[in-house]
Amino acid sequence: MKAYGDLDMMNALKVGRNPVIQRPLLVNDHDTEVMMDFLEEEGDGGGDGNLRRSLAMWNQEVRLLSSHILHMRHELMDAWAEADRQIGILKCQMMWMSNNISCLSNRPGCP
């Protein structure tokens, strides 16, 4: 019973004080990826706050760069497919022109 009796004192909120700790949140997006991370402040994390911040930023940069690499790889594959398609079209056009020129040079009356 004593444990229940102390609950009213433990759960009492002070007037004018917000019990929710608000921390800055770092949010980045690229294509379909959303990356969220806490931005550590100067006083957070004890003495290694700068180390934690630098590691978090480094991890975020690595994730962003890997996302960029994946995006560039998809763009390169699309460009190769488009180039192959254009080469096929040009080969057909050149063959058609070559056939027409050979036809005209062999028989001037050929349509």
Q: Tens of pLDDT along 12-68? A: 777 777 778 777 777 777 667 777 777 665 554 444 557 777 777 788 888 888 888
Mean pLDDT of 85-104: 92
Tell me how many domains the chain contains.
Answer: 1
> How far lies 48's CA from each of 10, 15, 37, 44, in Å?
32, 34, 17, 9
Which pTM was predicted?
A: 0.43
Digit-coded pLDDT (tens) for 95-110: 999 998 888 888 766 5
pLDDT the model gives residue 105: 81
Of 27, 103, 24, which Cα lies nearest the Cα of 60?
Answer: 27
For residue 54, the enclosing domain spans: 14-106
How is residue 106 written in tokens?
């062999």
Q: Does residue 4 lie in a domain region? A: no
Q: Does residue 5 lie in a domain region? A: no
Q: Does residue 84 lie in a domain region? A: yes
